[in-house]
Every structure is written in C-alpha cells, then in structure tokens.
Structure 1
Amino acid sequence: MINIFSKYFKKAAALSAGCFFMYSCENSMQEVRNLGIHKPGKEVAENVQSYMSQDGKIKAKLTAPLMYRTQSDTPITEFPKTLKVDFYGDSAKLESKLFAKYGRYMESEGKVLLKDSVVVFNVKGDTMLTNELWWDRNKAIFYTDKYVLIKKPMNQHFEGKDGLTADQSFKSWTLLNSSGITNVPDSSMPAN
C-alpha cells in the first residue's frame, strides 16, 4: 500500500513540477521580439571637465554640469544643461570662450551643434550672440545660417542676417547679408 501511494505521489509531484515550470517559462510574443531589439546604452556624467589636445598642446577645455553619451552606430554626446568651452592658441594662451544652454556632439562627423543663447567672446573684446551655432572641430571653424549679432568695443555692432563663418579663435569672421554701426572719429572725416 505504501509502495502504491509512494508511486502515485512521485508521479503527481513530477507532473505538478513540470506544469509549474512550463507555466512559469511562458513568454508573450512581444517579449520574445523585444529580446532581439538592441537598445543603445546611455552613459550619464555630472560636473564634466574635458580637455581636447592636439600634438601634445591643449586646444580646448569643456565644462558642463551634465552630459549624456549614447552608444549607437553614430555616438552622440549631449549637454542638456549648459556648457562652457575655453579655446587656447598654440602658445596655450586663452583665445576665446563659448557659452551655450545646449550642445550636441556628433562624434563621427566631428561637429558640435550649439543652441539657445550661444555667446562667444574673444580676447579683443568682441562678443557674438546667436541662437544656433555649429562648431566643426576638424576645420576649427564656427558657422551658422541663423541671425548673428556681433558687439565690439566702442559701441560698434554688426549683424549677420543670414549667419556667419568664423575661425575657432573668433579673431577673423565673415557675416552673411550684413549690416552694422561703427563709430568714425571726427578727425578722419574730410572737411568740405
């Protein structure tokens, strides 16, 4: 009698365990499909300080409170809460500074898109203001097709209604569809 009970008990236990495992391993078709989808990883960094060098010389220093880096076929680094970049010349002297509320670096292209209250200063005291600016790291230039205002010392200002191109040091720039106001000393005007 004990052998019969033991025999049925073992079969019932095995059947119950098999049903339990079969039921617990069931996946919906959507869950199975999602396993095959590769989601890019996202790295997060706070209080970022990064240096760019070339031939052993520092060229730029970037600081930002927050950075997101997405690993995908085309890696993208975003700075959603402002960024500041100091640009240095060959003698490691500060040449220009850049501020923006948002930045996106497309690594494969070597380009940075800067948006929202973009300001660039140079050592001569020139200030450039725009809402969108591209920085091409490979060519060491800034460019945009958006409105640009450049303020110079002595109350001079110039507008680029269709944008500008400028070198990275912001020492040399060309405005597109430009206008401006400049002060001319009285002594330089010819007398009639």
Structure 2
Amino acid sequence: MLHLKTIRVIPLIGGMTLLFSCGSGIERVSRIENPDTLPAIHATGIEIIYSDSSIVRLTIKAPELKDFVQADTLEPKSEFPKGLTATFYNQGGGVESILSAGYAIYHIKKKTFEATGDVVIKNFSENQELHTEVLWWDELHEKIWSDQPFSITTPDGTTHGKNGFEADQSFRKYRLRGTSGQMKVKETDDGGQTTDDGGL
C-alpha cells in the first residue's frame, strides 16, 4: 500500500492537466494473469482536478476509484463504483454546473464518461436541474447525451422526455426528444433556442 497525498502531473488533451488528491492512500495491484479482473490502482477519497492554462475547469470527487489501465487491457478504464460528483467551472472560476451519479466509468481510449444511477445535473447560471438514469459525457467534444427518459425542471415548469437528449457539457444549449410538459423558450447567446426541436 502506497500512501500518497498527490500524483501529478499527467498530460491530457488540449493542454489540460490532471491531479489526484487522495485522502486515504493508493493501492497498486501487481500485474496478474488476467489484468481485466483487478485494478492497477485502487484509491479512496479522491479528487481529480482538470485545469487548462492554469485555470481549473473541472473537479471530480469520488469515494472510490479503480483504474484498469494495464497496457494489455483491451479496454482501459477508470471505475467509480460508489459514484462521483463533477463540478464544472466557467472562465472566471465560478461554478457553472454540477453533475452527480451513483456509478460511473471513464473509457480512457474513447475519452467518454458513462454515468448511471440517479444522475443529476444542476445548472446554476440557467437555474435548471436535470434527472435521468443514464448519461454519457464526451470529453473531446464537450457534449453530454442520454437515450433514456429524463426530466428538466426550470422556474417555468418541468419537462419530461422519453427518448433522451443532447447538450453541451454546461447544459446551456440542448436538444430534447419526445417531450411533454411546459418549458419557456429561451434564446441563447449564439441565437439558438432551448426547445425540444432546437439544435446544439
């Protein structure tokens, strides 16, 4: 068992960096005959910080992290078996939105997160809250989507959807599918609209 306060700095896409802060240490598991069955790193009480040009853009906190990253693993991944909370920040350092889920997997090669189990997104700038059971986040394209039923609550009411949605990762612009209920149409900064027929 290795007891480390931080591990840094791991280069990521787009000049971003990653920092781990672990509350109770990290366990490195030796290579075994089947590398898919046990993680290379097992950490508890972790915080991951994504920064771009020294500006923090995203923090992820989780009770537990399991990394399956061996070179001979067909699908390297990071698993958050007890869920996570991801906080997105704007350029000024303010909190833009928060995503929480009961379980999540980060697919390292695809650079996508798969979150399941009581997934909630709170957008503070737009005063919106989304609930669904499955959500995908594309790190490269900064988009989120789901093909599962969802609900979005705003000061103007609640909209329910049966066929999922697509949105930017800040959840300011989105396309809703199979909706019912009422939601006030708002025009975005680039002229788009947040309607069930709108586009990203």
Query: What is the TM-score with the length of structure 1 in the denominator?
Result: 0.72
Root mean square deviation, CA, Å: 1.9
Which structure dedicates a bigger proportion of its chain to strand? Answer: 2
* Aligned counterparts, 1:66-145, within 5 A: 66-71=64-69, 72-123=73-124, 124-145=126-147
The equivalent of 2:6 in structure 1 is none
Q: Tell me, in whole angstroms, the C-alpha distance in 2 between the residues paired with 1:145 and 1:164.
A: 7
Q: CA deviation at 1:73?
A: 3.7
Identity %: 27
What is the number of residues matched between the two proteins? Answer: 148
Unaligned stretches of 5+ residues in structure 2: 1-31, 185-200
- Which residue matches 1:45? 43
Tell me the alpha carbon deviations over residues 17-51 of structure 1, each in whole angstroms, 9 at most, x when there is no partner: xxxxxxxxxxxxxxxxxxx9453551110000011
CA distance in 1 between partners of 2:35 and 2:128 (Å): 45
In the other structure, the counterpart of 2:13 is none
- Structure with higher Rg: it is 1
Query: Residues 173-192 of structure 1: matches in 2 within 5 Å?
Result: 173-182=174-183
The answer on whether the counterparts of 2:102 and 2:118 sit within 8 Å (CA) in structure 1 is yes
In structure 2, how many angstroms separate the alpha carbons of the residues matched to 1:143 and 1:115? 12
Query: Are 2:146 and 2:164, in contact at CA under 8 Å, matched by a contact in 1?
Result: yes
Alignment of 1:44-63 (within 5 A): 44-63=42-61
In structure 1, what is the Cα distance between the partners aligned to 2:34 and 2:136?
30
Gaps of 5+ in 1: 1-35, 184-192
> 1:139-169 CA distances to partner (integer Å, 9 max, x unpaired)?
1111011111001124x01122100011111
How far does the alpha carbon of each residue in 1:67-110 deviate from its partner, in whole angstroms, 9 at most, with x for none?
Answer: 11112243210101121000011222211000100000001101
TM-score normalised per structure 2: 0.69
Larger proportion of helix = 1
Aligned structure 1 segments of 4 or more residues deviating by more than 3 angstroms? none
Q: CA offset at residue 55 of structure 1? A: 3.0
Report the alpha carbon displacement of residue 116 of structure 1 after superposing the two structures with TM: 0.4
